[in-house]
Structure 1
Amino acid sequence: MLHLLVDTSTWLDLSKRRDGQRWIVALRLLVHQRDVELLVPELVIEEFERNRERIEASMTASVAQRFKLIKQDLEDYGGTDVENAVEVIADLARDVPLIGAMTTRNFDEVLELLRTGRRVEATDAEHRGVVERGLRKRAPLHRSRNSVADALLIELYATAARASDLSRNPHAFVTSNSADFSTEDGDKRQPHPDVSATFASEGSTYALGVDGLNDVLLSHFGSEIKELFAETDFIEEPRRLGEILEAEKMLFDRVWHHRSLQHEYQLRAAGDEGELERLEAIAGPARKRVEETYTQPGELGPYTDFELGMLNGKLSALRWVLGSEWDFLDT
């Protein structure tokens, strides 16, 4: 089993990535199969929860600002034939909340991974190690900034690695904090000399950022992880508002047409000619429009009870997304 201690900065970087699901899904499956164990200090969860809201807000604001600037440039410098382009940008800008929701998904799933990992708690030994690093100005306490939390992470990792048979249970420490953990001169993928002893043994690996995590997984699992990446390497695009409105209208038309026909059948069965004429006058033109629009076999029924239930369920779901309450099915 591969044991990973991934620091907060790497988890946040992974959550921000548009292709983050590639690693999030793969790690979830590997953890479920007991091929990977995540070592999770409490401080990593605390830091992740403390920083995620700020980062999520900044990402959504950044996207919205880019749309705003593009729209402004088109209006200022686009000449006289830019109305359509401005409208396209405005339409895309309305989808920013959906983009933000997809971003939130990454953060939610990473937090779930962290909460299901093995919690590692600091003992007096790790705290003494942090103090000793501070007194000797050893990385990650070799600079002026306060890196006590980082020092505690490396002490916790060192304890876990020493207590394991690394030939059977390899360990990896993954961080995006090259300033505190990586060598100051040369390849930043190499650990600082003050922490390099922790990675001297075969089976204990220092990795830098999401790319380093990727390398660790490839090195340990080989073709298996490549196949897993291939299966999970997808980006789900949120539906644009126009697409949702178009689908809602299609479902509305089909459900309304079915109900209109049912009403007609009931009136015919009752022999109510007056109401039949009134229904034809009111609903006839709209029914004709629907029948001219949906011409494929089965689009306008007849429906089984299951098919009708699916239509109503989809309509209810889309209306909920657009702001209505659940089960609002008025047509």
Structure 2
Amino acid sequence: MFKILVDTCVWLDLAKDYQQRAILTTLEELIHQGDIELILPRVVVDEFNRNKARIIEESSRSLSGTLKRVKEVIEKFGDPQKIDTVLLELNDVDHRLPILGEEAVDTIGRIEQLFACSSIIDISDAVKLRAAQRAIDKRAPFHRQRNGIDDAILIEVYRDAVGEQKTGRARFAFITYNTKDFSHPNASNKLPHPDIQDCFSKVKSHYCITLREMLQRIIPKEFNDFLEELEWVEEPRRLSEIVDAIDEFATKVWYNRHQIMLEKLEEGIIKIVDKETFPIIDHETRPIQRDILEGALRAANEVEKRFGIENLGPWDDFEWGMINGKLSALRWILGDEWDMLDT
């Protein structure tokens, strides 16, 4: 078993970067299997709780503001021949921002579930005293001008966890992205600072600056296959794809209604008039103005050229229901009410 202490910065990075979902899923699975156990100091839980709202907000709002300013600059100074293309790409990104925020909320919930099933370590007076002594001695992580005591508490909690394991085959890992405070200042940042070197060894206790690296050590043979399987996700549709699909289905619905109208003309159910009178008494037998009919015939001809007449029906009830259902669903995604099938 590996017992790992994960720095708060690593948890927060997992929460705000949806592309690391596979890493989080791997960690969840290894904890569930009993291959990993979290060393979870209360300071990590408290700091995570203080920052999670900010992470959710930053996952979408800050980028949305940036996109808005970029659009304004492009519209004002951009190449007129490229503006439409660039704005289309930016609109696609803007459409996905709420999804990124929702991903952050989901990931934070998953991390909190891991916290809930782990034993939280309250900080003892002895740990606080040793952390304070580090500050007095200006030893890492207090070797830099600005630092808080929480980082020193983490390393002292980790030291106790490693020291308490006198027997058994458990191994340990300390994972942090905070290389400025914990890594060697004059060598590879994959090495711990000399002031905390005594907490680590080649076999029993590892210093890691990425969660991926640590997981790969635990399951070296299965890691790549496991990660490859988990990293495959269906990306959300681009806004331009949704808009194009709405246009296609709306056009096909209109074309079908146009054909029904032509059949009613042939059967004499509706008549051609030079000018329609209002109010309309019966929409089933509503007459059509001559100029509107001529415009509709031209429009239908363009639709046939665009899609090919073989792709415009006739459809059975199931196929017709699918087309209308797709149109309704896509419009709902962009803010319309359900069953909005106007053409």
Please give the TM-score of this superposition, normalised by the length of structure 1.
0.75
Query: Does 2:109 match 1:112?
Result: yes
CA pair 186-7 structure 1, distance change in 2 beyond 3 A:
same
Return the offset for 1:88: 2.3
1:225 aligns to what? 223
2:46 aligns to what? 43
Return the offset for 1:287: 4.2
Query: Does 2:84 match 1:87?
Result: yes
Secondary structure of 1:98 counterpart:
helix
**Cα distance between partner residues in 2 of 1:286 and 1:32:** 61
CA pair 130-88 structure 1, distance change in 2 beyond 3 A:
same
1:21–1:106: 8 Å Cα contact kept in structure 2? no
Which one is further off, 215-224 or 167-176? 167-176
Structure 2 counterparts to residues 101-180 of structure 1, below 5 A:
101-117=98-114, 118-125=117-124, 127-137=125-135, 138-162=139-163, 169-180=170-181
2:67–2:94: 8 Å Cα contact kept in structure 1? no
CA pair 277-103 structure 1, distance change in 2 beyond 3 A:
closer
**Cα distance between partner residues in 2 of 1:163 and 1:279:** 90
**Cα distance between partner residues in 2 of 1:67 and 1:248:** 24
Q: Tell me the percent identity.
A: 29
Which one is further off, 288-297 or 273-282? 273-282
Alpha-carbon displacement from aligned partner over 1:129-155 (angstroms, at most 9, x marks no partner): 023221243433454434222233334
Secondary structure of 1:328 counterpart:
coil
Return the offset for 1:177: 1.1
Q: What is the RMSD of the two structures over their aligned residues, measured on CA atoms? A: 3.9
1:317 aligns to what? 329
Of the two, which has the highest radius of gyration?
A: 2
Alpha-carbon displacement from aligned partner over 1:19-72 (angstroms, at most 9, x marks no partner): 434534544555565555555542243144143146434444445555655666
Structure 2 counterparts to residues 143-292 of structure 1, below 5 A:
143-162=144-163, 169-200=170-201, 202-208=203-209, 212-233=210-231, 239-259=237-257, 272=269, 274=271, 275=285, 278=288, 282=293, 284-292=297-305
The amino acid that maps onto 2:330 is L
Return the offset for 1:313: 3.4
**Cα distance between partner residues in 2 of 1:37 and 1:63:** 41
Unaligned runs of 5+ in 2: 272-284
The amino acid that maps onto 2:131 is R
1:120–1:156: 8 Å Cα contact kept in structure 2? no
**Cα distance between partner residues in 1 of 2:101 and 2:172:** 29
1:254–1:299: 8 Å Cα contact kept in structure 2? yes
1:60–1:97: 8 Å Cα contact kept in structure 2? yes
The amino acid that maps onto 1:153 is L
CA pair 16-260 structure 1, distance change in 2 beyond 3 A:
same
Secondary structure of 2:121 counterpart:
coil
1:257–1:300: 8 Å Cα contact kept in structure 2? no
Query: Does 2:308 match 1:295?
Result: yes
1:141–1:180: 8 Å Cα contact kept in structure 2? yes
**Cα distance between partner residues in 1 of 2:183 and 2:339:** 56
2:327–2:341: 8 Å Cα contact kept in structure 1? yes
Alpha-carbon displacement from aligned partner over 1:60-106 (angstroms, at most 9, x marks no partner): 4445555655666x54xxxxxx3112332233333342343354355
**Cα distance between partner residues in 1 of 2:237 and 2:111:** 29
**Cα distance between partner residues in 2 of 1:66 and 1:177:** 32
1:8–1:47: 8 Å Cα contact kept in structure 2? no
Please give the TM-score of this superposition, normalised by the length of structure 2.
0.73
CA pair 185-3 structure 1, distance change in 2 beyond 3 A:
same
2:278 aligns to what? none
2:57–2:101: 8 Å Cα contact kept in structure 1? no
Alpha-carbon displacement from aligned partner over 1:233-282 (angstroms, at most 9, x marks no partner): 458665443332211111212333445556777x59x9735449749974
1:15–1:103: 8 Å Cα contact kept in structure 2? no
CA pair 217-256 structure 1, distance change in 2 beyond 3 A:
same
Which one is further off, 188-197 or 175-184? 188-197
